[in-house]
Amino acid sequence: MILPEKYTEEMKSLLKNEYDDYLAAMDQPYVRSIRINTLKISPEEFMKISPFDLTPVPWCREGFYVNEDERPGTHPYYYAGLYYIQEASAMIPAAVLPVREHDAVLDLCAAPGGKSTYFASRLNGTGVLAANDISASRQNATLKNLERFGAGNIYVLSEDPEKLAGVWPEKFDCILLDAPCSGEGMFRKDPSLIKAWEKRGSEEYVPVQKKLAEQAVKMLKPGGYLVYSTCTFSICEDEEIIRFITGTFPEMKLQKIPDRHESFMPGVLPGFEDCIRLYPHKLNGEGHFTALLKKDGISASSEKYRTKIKIPAEAEEFMRLLKYPLPERITVRKDKVLLLPEISLPSDSLRVIRSGLLLGTLKKGRFEPSQALSFALSPETFGNCISLAAGDPRVIRCLRGETLQDDSDTEGNVLVCIDRWPLCFGKKQKNTIKNRIEKGYRML
Ligand code: SAM
């Protein structure tokens, strides 16, 4: 790997006699890893059915390395949302944020949703997760990843954080600021970033990072936690930003990271050793920086949301197939029927891509259940399931959007599953299932 001279000089001065180890690590292939979606399956259960050889990631209970020749992104379990493909060091920032059930959580720079999916698992359907990113096109992927995970307690937005801070002051128990950065830690995984670094170095990112940090602090409740993370080694984008935060906002205090793994290196500025630096020559992962901060004060709990509307008549018959009473948080916006999160966020003036779980769409006297709802269900919560074994060739046909044959007695609206994990809804008549998998969720 050919690294720019300016960069190698900086790294020599940062790493000193470890620099050669770093260079040697850069010539090793990067190791693939996945993170299990505990909304659908426990890591222990997944290990029993895993099609891949798994090696645990030491700092993430849900994380596993897979062999170099595996392609986890092509397996039907991926399409069913059983795991997310995530680089092992990238699991750390979300693992470090102490998210608890019923919290209000904000992922300020979320796309494509890697860390958001982790928060969704940890919230376990409670509280609220607001996943924002300035890039609306990248947020399509965030929505898709969250929906595939079966997460419905979400707001997915594409808004300027300054505007968010005006509408949501002191709203969140936990905030992740996974900041845009010069990307030095990703050079091995994606060498094309070296060219981008030559064009746009730290100087371009620091002002953006400071601005984002200010907005994040404004939106944090007293007593709340903020994780600041980057995938770069540049001190001015890392420890210097933490110094900026604690200097500008004295109520923000740097915290020790609990269960700190021995391979995490301390921050390099005096007084900022509680930050962690991850280097590819020290652990099996790419380069990252993470710091945990807490705002002084005592956190008040968020107000729970309740609304009572009558379920539209077209949707009633379908809703009877759900084997649980729907919480009183259903709303109808234009033709969309939505189940809002437990904690509601004022969002009328914001660019919202999705609020809550899309249950389905009202269409000329009928109700069409959504792809997102199918992922949020299971054989325990939906009456009409057709379960295909993992090796059944109909699984691939289903994921390609083809019509399926089935000779079971189930009729009408059915939920087609791989084992017990939904892939999509279908409409069954006689022995034929008309497949309703939405285009963006198909196997190409
Ligand atoms: N957290 C993501 C994940 O785990 O999948 C990765 C986020 S990436 C490191 C940084 C993101 O910041 C990019 O998606 C970029 O679009 C977004 N971004 C850049 N400037 C921003 C801004 N001013 N406000 C919000 N997001 C911004």
Tens digits of per-residue pLDDT, 169-227? 999 999 999 999 999 999 999 999 999 999 988 999 999 999 999 999 999 999 999 99
Q: What is the pLDDT of residue 326?
A: 83
User: Which atom of ligand 1 is the closest one to the Cα of 112?
Assistant: 5
Say yes or no: CB of residue 356 within 6 Å of ligand 1: no
Do residues 104 and 225 lie in contact, with contact meaning Cβ atoms separated by under 8 Å? Answer: no
Q: How far is the CA of 287 from the centre of ligand 1 (A)?
A: 17
CA of 180 to the centre of ligand 1 (A): 5
Tally of CB atoms within 10 A around 439: 8
Ligand 1 atom nearest residue 142's Cα: 5
**Rounded to an integer, what distance in angstroms lies between the CA atom of residue 324 and that of residue 318?**
13
At residue 250, the pLDDT reads 98
Rounded CA-CA distance 188/27 in Å is 8
CB 43, CB 19: distance < 8 Å: no
Q: With the CA atoms of 167, 170, 176 and 180 taken in that order, what torsion angle do they form, in degrees rounded to the nearest 10?
A: 50
Q: Which of 106, 107, 109, 160 to mutate to test the pocket of ligand 1 (most atoms within 8 A of CB)?
A: 109
The stretches in the chain having pLDDT less than 50 are none
Distance 231 CA to ligand 1 centre (A): 12
End-to-end CA distance of the chain: 33
Which residue matches tokens 């919480």?
Answer: 327
Count the alpha carbons within 13 Å of 197 in the hemisphere toward its beta carbon. Answer: 22
Q: Determine if ligand 1 sits within 6 Å of the CB of residue 113.
A: yes
What the chain holds in terms of domains, given with CATH numbers, is 382-444 (2.30.130.60)
Euclidean distance between CA atoms 413 and 398, whole angstroms: 15
**Ligand 1 centroid – CA 111 distance (Å):** 6
Give residue for tokens 């300016």: 6
Helix H or strand E encompassing 221: strand 220-230
Residue 309: per-residue pLDDT: 81
Q: Which residues of 214-242 are buried (b: 16+ CB within 10 A; e: fewer)?
A: bbbbbbbbeebbbbbbbbbbbbbbbbbbb
Catalytic residue among 231, 275, 385, 398: 231
The SS3 of residue 310 is coil
* Cα atoms in the Cβ-side hemisphere of radius 13 Å centred on 204: 10
Going from the Cα of 353 to the center of ligand 1, the distance in angstroms, rounded, reads 16
User: 180 in ligand 1 pocket by Cβ < 6 Å?
Assistant: yes
| DSSP tag of 342 | S
Q: How far is CA 269 from CA 237, 266, 362, 389, in A?
A: 12, 9, 57, 54
Contact 93, 115 (CB under 8 A): yes
Does the Cβ of 135 fall within 6 Å of ligand 1?
yes
Atom number, ligand 1, closest to the C-alpha of residue 135: 16
Q: Is 109 one of the annotated active-site residues of the chain?
A: no
